[in-house]
């Protein structure tokens, strides 16, 4: 295991920020870290990087206890904080060199790694600029380059794509995926489709407790199918009784006169039946969309109830 | 050691990239130069071949300029979160603290260094040439540097107390002012006359005066070194608390 967290807890005054969280991540695994705002995601990440101290529990990075041997453990991690703090007065190259040296790189290997990171994060056109003069997207790349510079065994990214435009998001996701193939990666995000796209496994925390820990693959297998259909309503509404007889476990949600959501396990069959039924009742379909339920529903159901 | 050097170099480059260093040095040198050569009882007017004006004024310039150098050292990093970049990397708190402290000290040395020209000038202007109390002057230079180093440690400490640079500046000026002259004032309070000599020993001014006479006493140097150590220890304590 390259990252092992055992019943970690943290209190801020009387408020329990983390309440006995345990999970571990294997090398080559990408872990998506989910939870509503204030659930304790950033706190957990700060404890892993040794920035704050847990009140109880244990964090091991590649077998090194973060409290017993902090320097050795920190050498194996790379960290991009949520706010992506950078020195605006420093030049991109100067900053990367500074961070590389702090991570123990020097001489030619430092220069080479900086070149590799600048090329892979797409910083080449901005390499000679001051960080303060960069756009948000480029600053994020500098933050990522800094975190991956020394090829850490465990890369910790706190909301790496927040505030980026869709193109930049795609690029950064691609970069993250590539890195996660060889090393251990843990990242937090609010964007559920993003987590589904990148992560091998997801951990959901809510109010300081771990409420779900499962593989993304299982997630999409077990999920139900949602079909959202918009009908053209002229003078009569769509009658669902025939469909309900054909699919006994079908759930129908009528969102408006014209908008229906069908929820069931039989995917293609259901959609065919809806089409046939609409022809039969002479109510044209304006749109029919199949939606992934799963993660989003899981997230809402797990994180809403106790709030 | 290597990490202290990396932090030191980064701080120095911040000083010179953000104009702080140039402003501090030019204000210090212009101010001193004006009072030394042109305004008031300047050295040409009085005709006394000594550097007394320089050493009387410099501590007061330092009182404002050094807090200006150090006010951002931690306050700004904590406010913007860049301190996390440092603390999440494999280096210790002391390496960060010493790197920043030594960089501030280096800037003090850079500022004082050009005033050696005054020393040389007075040396040649003296009648006969070289009629200058070199021992007192070099003592005063050493005293001035150590005074500056102590102010720097106070400034660093003040900067760990708050995320607001202005507040850090005011705190640093206040603490520096108090530890420079405060004990002299307290010693003069009625009712404390018996303890007078003893209280005065806690102030920096007394030790600076003592070194400036030309006798570089290890006790005086030890005083300044202890003062710096105490404030660096307090800074370390403060940073440690932030981890909780």
* Whether A208 and A228 share a structural domain: no
pLDDT at position A283 over 80: yes
> Min CA distance, A73 vs chain B (Å)?
8
pLDDT number for residue A302: 75
> Min CA distance, B174 vs chain A (Å)?
29
Q: Identify the helix (H) or strand (E) that includes residue B28.
A: helix B20-33
* Cα dihedral across residues A133, A135, A136, A138: positive or negative: negative
CB within 8 Å: A51 and B243? yes
SS3 assignment, position A83: coil
In the predicted model, what is the mean pLDDT of residues A4-16? 89
pLDDT digits (tens, 9 = 90+) for A38-57: 888 999 999 999 999 999 99
Among A200, A220, A240, identify where a domain stops: A220
Can you list the pairs that A95-100 forms with residues at least 24 positions away whose Cβ atoms lie under 8 Å? A95/A131, A95/A142, A95/A146, A96/A142, A96/A145, A96/A146, A96/A149, A98/B6, A98/B10, A99/A146, A99/A149, A99/B85, A99/B89, A100/A149, A100/A150
Query: Both tokens of residue B65?
Result: 């300029």
pLDDT at position B189 over 90: no
* A42 in contact with chain B, both atoms CB, cutoff 8 A: no
Q: For the ranges A60-69, A81-90, A273-282, which has the lowest average pLDDT?
A: A273-282
SS3 assignment, position B145: helix
* Whether A213 and A256 share a structural domain: no
Residue (of B48, B76, B165, B176) closest to A88 by Cα position = B76
The parent domain of residue A255 ranges over: 223-303
Residues in B closer than 8 angstroms to A94, CB to CB, are 13
Nearest by CB: B3 against A46, A72, A102 = A102
Residue (of A217, A229, A225, A222) closest to A247 by Cα position = A225
In the predicted model, what is the mean pLDDT of residues A280-297? 78
* Whether A215 and A250 share a structural domain: no
Instruction: Indicate the pLDDT class of residue A73, thresholds 50, 70 and 90.
Output: very high
* A55 in contact with chain B, both atoms CB, cutoff 8 A: no
Residue (of A57, A23, A28) closest to A41 by Cα position = A23
Among A220, A238, A265, identify where a domain stops: A220
Could you report the predicted ipTM of this complex, rounded to two decimals? Answer: 0.87
Q: For the ranges A58-72, A276-290, B143-157, which has the lowest average pLDDT?
A: A276-290
Q: Which of B85, B92, B95 to mutate to test the interface with A (most CBs of A within 10 A)?
A: B85
Question: Between A and B, how many CB-CB pairs are < 8 A?
Answer: 64
Residues in B closer than 8 angstroms to A74, CB to CB, are 88-90
> Min CA distance, A156 vs chain B (Å)?
11
Torsion-angle region of B214 (φ positive above 0: left; ψ -120 to 50: alpha; else: beta):
left
Query: Both tokens of residue A27?
Result: 């090398």
* Whether A44 and A152 share a structural domain: yes
Nearest by CB: B85 against A85, A89, A104 = A85
Residue (of B102, B76, B131, B86) closest to B1 by Cα position = B102
In the predicted model, what is the mean pLDDT of residues A83-98? 93
Share of chain A above pLDDT 70, in %: 93
pLDDT digits (tens, 9 = 90+) for A100-113: 999 999 999 999 99
Can you list the pairs that A160-164 forms with residues at least 24 positions away whose Cβ atoms lie under 8 Å? A160/A80, A160/A187, A160/A189, A161/A189, A161/A191, A161/A194, A162/A82, A162/A189, A162/A190, A163/A136, A164/A136, A164/A137, A164/A140
Q: For the ranges A301-305, B9-13, B236-240, which has the lowest average pLDDT?
A: A301-305
Among A172, A201, A220, identify where a domain stops: A220
* Whether A285 and A143 share a structural domain: no
CA B139 to chain centre: 16
Residue (of A149, A189, A147) closest to A30 by Cα position = A189
* Whether A173 and A105 share a structural domain: yes
Q: State how far the Cα of B65 lies from the Cα of B62, in Å rounded to an integer.
A: 5
* Whether A117 and A214 share a structural domain: yes
CB within 8 Å: B81 and A83? yes
In the predicted model, what is the mean pLDDT of residues B183-210? 82
> Min CA distance, A64 vs chain B (Å)?
13
pLDDT number for residue A24: 92
* Whether A85 and A68 share a structural domain: yes
* B20 in contact with chain A, both atoms CB, cutoff 8 A: no
* B38 in contact with chain A, both atoms CB, cutoff 8 A: no
* B91 in contact with chain A, both atoms CB, cutoff 8 A: yes
CB within 8 Å: A89 and B81? no
In the predicted model, what is the mean pLDDT of residues B222-233? 95
In the predicted model, what is the mean pLDDT of residues B159-181? 94
Which of B187 and B63 is assigned the larger pLDDT?
B63
* A83 in contact with chain B, both atoms CB, cutoff 8 A: yes
In the predicted model, what is the mean pLDDT of residues A250-265? 81
CB within 8 Å: A74 and B84? no
Q: State how far the Cα of B90 lies from the Cα of B107, in Å rounded to an integer.
A: 27
> Min CA distance, B178 vs chain A (Å)?
33
Q: What is the C-alpha end-to-end distance of chain B, expressed in Å?
A: 27
Q: What is the CATH number of the domain that holds A280?
A: 3.30.70.250
Q: State how far the Cα of A183 lies from the Cα of A27, in Å rounded to an integer.
A: 5
Q: State how far the Cα of B204 lies from the Cα of A42, in Å rounded to an integer.
A: 45
pLDDT number for residue A170: 86
In the predicted model, what is the mean pLDDT of residues A13-34? 90
pLDDT number for residue A266: 63
Residues in A closer than 8 angstroms to B91, CB to CB, are 71, 102
* A275 in contact with chain B, both atoms CB, cutoff 8 A: no
When divided into structural domains, chain A yields a total of 2
* Whether A214 and A237 share a structural domain: no
pLDDT digits (tens, 9 = 90+) for A193-225: 788 888 889 898 988 888 888 887 655 555 567
Instruction: Indicate the pLDDT class of residue A307, thresholds 50, 70 and 90.
Output: very low
* Whether A58 and A133 share a structural domain: yes
CB within 8 Å: B90 and A98? no
* Whether A27 and A47 share a structural domain: yes
* B10 in contact with chain A, both atoms CB, cutoff 8 A: yes
Q: Are A149 and A121 in contact (CB under 8 A)?
A: no
Q: Which of A64, A66, A80, A101 to mutate to test the interface with B (most CBs of B within 10 A)?
A: A101
Instruction: Provide the H-helix boundaries in chain A.
Output: 41-48, 70-75, 92-102, 107-120, 136-148, 166-182, 192-198, 216-222, 241-246, 267-281, 295-304
pLDDT number for residue A267: 66
* Whether A10 and A107 share a structural domain: yes
Residue (of B66, B58, B56, B57) closest to B209 by Cα position = B56
Q: Which of residues 94-113 of A touch B (CB under 8 A)?
A: 94, 98-99, 101-104
* A301 in contact with chain B, both atoms CB, cutoff 8 A: no
CB within 8 Å: A102 and B89? yes
Q: Identify the helix (H) or strand (E) that includes residue B236.
A: helix B218-242
Residues in B closer than 8 angstroms to A90, CB to CB, are 10, 13-14, 17
SS3 assignment, position A50: coil
Q: What is the CATH number of the domain that holds A40?
A: 3.40.50.300
Round the average pLDDT of chain A to a whole number and report it. 86
> Min CA distance, B229 vs chain A (Å)?
24
pLDDT number for residue A189: 85
Nearest residue on chain A to B90, alpha-carbon basis: A71
Residues in A closer than 8 angstroms to B83, CB to CB, are 85
């Amino acid at each position: 295991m390259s990252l092992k967290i055992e019943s970690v807890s943290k209190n801020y005054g009387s408020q329990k920020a983390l309440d006995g969280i345990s999970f571990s991540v294997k090398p080559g695994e990408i872990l998506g870290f989910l939870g509503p705002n204030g659930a304790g995601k950033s706190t957990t990440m700060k404890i892993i990087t040794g920035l704050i101290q847990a009140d109880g529990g244990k964090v091991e990075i590649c077998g090194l206890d973060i409290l017993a041997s902090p320097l050795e453990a920190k050498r194996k991690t790379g960290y991009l904080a949520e706010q992506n703090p950078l020195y605006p007065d420093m030049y991109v190259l100067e900053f990367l060199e500074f961070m590389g040296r702090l991570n123990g790189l020097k001489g030619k290997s430092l220069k080479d790694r900086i070149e590799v990171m600048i090329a892979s994060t797409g910083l080449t056109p901005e390499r000679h600029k001051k960080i303060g003069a960069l756009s948000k997207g480029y600053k994020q790349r500098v933050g990522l380059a800094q975190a991956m510079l020394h090829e850490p065994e465990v890369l910790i990214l706190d909301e790496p794509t927040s505030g980026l435009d869709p193109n930049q998001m795609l690029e950064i996701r691609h970069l993250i995926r590539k890195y996660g193939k060889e090393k251990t990666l843990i990242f937090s995000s609010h964007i559920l489709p993003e987590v589904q796209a990148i992560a091998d496994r997801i951990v959901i925390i809510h109010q300081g407790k771990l409420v779900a820990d499962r593989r993304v693959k299982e997630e999409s297998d077990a999920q139900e199918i949602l079909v959202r259909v918009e009908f053209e309503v002229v003078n009569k509404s769509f009658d669902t009784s025939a469909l309900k007889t054909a699919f006994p476990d079908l759930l129908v949600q009528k969102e408006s006169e014209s908008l229906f959501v069908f929820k069931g396990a039989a995917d293609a069959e259901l959609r065919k039946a809806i089409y046939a039924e609409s022809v039969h009742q002479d109510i044209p379909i304006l749109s029919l969309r199949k939606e992934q339920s799963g993660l989003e529903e899981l997230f809402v159901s797990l994180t809403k109830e106790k709030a | 050691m290597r990490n202290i050097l990396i932090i030191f170099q980064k701080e120095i480059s911040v000083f010179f990239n953000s104009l702080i260093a140039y402003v501090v040095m030019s204000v210090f040198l212009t101010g001193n130069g004006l009072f030394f050569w042109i305004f008031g009882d300047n050295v040409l007017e009085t005709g006394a071949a000594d550097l007394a004006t320089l050493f009387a004024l410099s501590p007061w310039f330092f009182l404002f300029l050094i807090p200006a150098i150090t006010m951002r050292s931690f306050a700004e990093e904590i406010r913007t979160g860049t301190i996390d970049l440092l603390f999440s990397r494999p280096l210790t708190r002391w390496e960060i603290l010493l790197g920043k402290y030594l960089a501030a000290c280096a800037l003090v040395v850079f500022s004082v260094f050009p005033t050696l020209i005054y020393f040389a000038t007075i040396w040649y202007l003296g009648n006969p040439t070289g009629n200058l109390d070199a021992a007192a002057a070099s003592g005063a230079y050493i005293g001035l540097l150590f005074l500056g180093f102590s102010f720097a440690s106070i400034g660093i400490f003040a900067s760990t107390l708050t995320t607001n640079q202005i507040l850090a500046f005011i705190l640093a000026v206040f603490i520096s002012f108090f530890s420079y002259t405060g004990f002299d004032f307290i010693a003069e309070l009625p009712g404390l006359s018996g303890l007078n000599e003893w209280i005065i020993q806690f102030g920096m001014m007394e030790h600076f005066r003592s070194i400036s006479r030309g006798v570089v006493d290890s006790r005086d140097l030890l005083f300044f070194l202890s003062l710096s150590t105490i404030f660096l220890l307090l800074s370390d304590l403060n940073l440690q608390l932030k981890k909780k």
